A and B are shown apart, each in its own frame.
Chain A
Amino acid sequence: MTLITFALLLKAACYTVAISGVSIVIGFLIGMGVAAARLSTSRWIAIPAHAFVSFFRGVPLLVQLLLIYNLLPFLGINVPSVVAAVVGLSLCTAAYQAENLRGGFASVPRGLIEAADMTGLSPFQQLVRIRAPIAFRLTLPSLVNEAILILKASSLVSVVGVIELTRMAQDLDTSLYKPIQLYATAGFLYFLINRCLAFAGASAERRFSWGRA
């Protein structure tokens, strides 16, 4: 493998990281909304949120990506394929992150909320000072896990024509005929990024574990 080939793969790996990173952040924001909707006492809000989570967790990401890639132009929205890819990844991860967040908020100890009530914190103060920080700390491990899953899942974006790491290896293979070297290198790059993510996640968990009983 020449240096040029490796440089091309490395550049594509950066693109993969960018796509996954943007999707994780957008997915987290949507996921917060969906989790709040699922915890709502109104059935008209909770049931659609439940259907959203069920659909995006029950359909393969590849099918979601193909659907969104074809649906957007069908609705008259013409966007580059990378936008369709990010929309697909974001919606999928939003469903998973919504479930994680819901679990996190549900696991905030009841006694802490009662103690906050006793000391006279308003519901908003309770959310900002007690419930959200604890729920965030509880969901941090699954957030890191989700980031790793999305990084791997972003390889499917190659199917809708986004030139990220997997697609780059494929394209290089059609001219170089060296599938083993190319795909092994791509796989190794994915592995390396995942190790970095896991390491960063472990440090973040230590960083945020202050005051833990």
Chain B
Amino acid sequence: MRFDYALVASKIPEIFHALGVTLFVWIVGLVGATMLGFLVAVARRFGPRWLDLALGAYVELFRGTPFLIQLFLLYFGGPYVGLSLDPIPAGLLGLSVYGAAYFSEIFRAGFEAVPSGHVEAGECVGLTRAQIVRRILLPEMTMLVFPACVNMAVVLLKETAVMSVITVPELTLTISAIGTEFYAFVESLFLLALFYWGLVEICGWLGRLAEARLSRFRFAAA
């Protein structure tokens, strides 16, 4: 196997740009999915019954179908109902709506896992409803759901690779295109796998670090 370093070097800016796109769609999609998922969980817990049922159907449907099918429906079906999106916005919207279905279940379980005694204790010492949510429910829930959220962040990072199918110019699309150009599929795909492996390991490491820091506050939930 011959290896032309000059050719490879000429592609480095392109690879870094693609890495930027992957990180961008991941982080923006992650933030969107977390916020949307939180809203869904809150609406299901505190909203009327019909809203709970409707959102429950949404969660089941989006957790029960492949992300790829959802992306195809949005990207190729969208224009037929007046929703023409470019690849990156389509990917971001798809990832947010897909991830939100999972995040809402994480938050729902989190709400349920906060011991009711803590909320009652807050009521007893005369905290208002808003204070109970802000001082007791949310901090304790954050602690409880944090590991699951880190896990979900890693899942979504890996799902960004699927966006290459609807031509989002992220790592998978760019590096496989380079592989085709140089007729070096195996080498480029190994490089691609290493990129993701590294990103996932870094993400898991940061998650464990943050968890360790958060656990300093874990005096009540235990």
Whether the pair B80, A191 counts as a contact (CB closer than 8 A) is no
Report if A60-B65 is in contact (Cβ < 8 Å); known contacts: A54-B201, A67-B189, A70-B185. no
Question: How far is B72's CA from A66's CA once the two chains are assembled, in angstroms?
Answer: 20
A59 touches which of B69, B72, B185, B193 (Cβ 8 Å): B193
Contacts of B189 in A (CB 8 A): 63, 66-67, 70-71
Measured CB to CB, the nearest residue on chain A to B158 is A60
Question: How far is B193's CA from A186's CA once the two chains are assembled, in angstroms?
Answer: 29
Interface residues on B, range: 20 to 34
Whether the pair B161, A62 counts as a contact (CB closer than 8 A) is yes
Whether the pair A156, B162 counts as a contact (CB closer than 8 A) is yes
Contacts of B185 in A (CB 8 A): 66, 70, 74
Report if A183-B172 is in contact (Cβ < 8 Å); known contacts: A60-B161, A155-B68. no
Report if A71-B186 is in contact (Cβ < 8 Å); known contacts: A60-B162, A63-B172, A179-B76. yes
Q: Chain B's interface: helix, strand, loop or mixed, by majority?
A: helix
Report if A195-B197 is in contact (Cβ < 8 Å); known contacts: A180-B80, A183-B77, A184-B73. no
B196 touches which of A59, A184, A186 (Cβ 8 Å): A59
**B36 contacts the other chain (CB 8 A):** no
Whether the pair A63, B76 counts as a contact (CB closer than 8 A) is no
Interface residues on A, range: 35 or more
**B165 contacts the other chain (CB 8 A):** yes
Contacts of B73 in A (CB 8 A): 179-180, 183-184, 187
Q: In the assembled complex, how far is the CB of residue B158 from the closest CB belonging to chain A, in whole angstroms?
A: 4
Convert B77-105 into 0s and 1s, putting 1 for each residue whose CB lies closer than 8 angstroms to a CB of A: 10011000000000000000000000000
Whether the pair A58, B200 counts as a contact (CB closer than 8 A) is yes
Question: How far is B66's CA from A153's CA once the two chains are assembled, in angstroms?
Answer: 7
Whether the pair A186, B69 counts as a contact (CB closer than 8 A) is yes
Q: In the assembled complex, how far is the CB of residue A166 from the closest CB belonging to chain B, in whole angstroms?
A: 6
Q: In the assembled complex, how far is the CB of residue B58 from the closest CB belonging to chain A, in whole angstroms?
A: 12
Measured CB to CB, the residues of B under 8 A from A are 60-61, 64-70, 72-73, 76-77, 80-81, 158-162, 164-165, 172, 176, 185-186, 189-190, 192-193, 196-197, 200-201
- Contacts A67-B192, A155-B66, A190-B66 given; 10 further ones with Cβ under 8 A? A54-B197, A55-B193, A60-B161, A62-B162, A159-B165, A179-B77, A183-B72, A187-B66, A187-B69, A187-B70
Query: What are 8 A-B residue pairs whose CB atoms fall within 8 Å in the complex?
Result: A55-B193, A62-B164, A67-B192, A158-B68, A166-B66, A186-B69, A190-B65, A194-B65
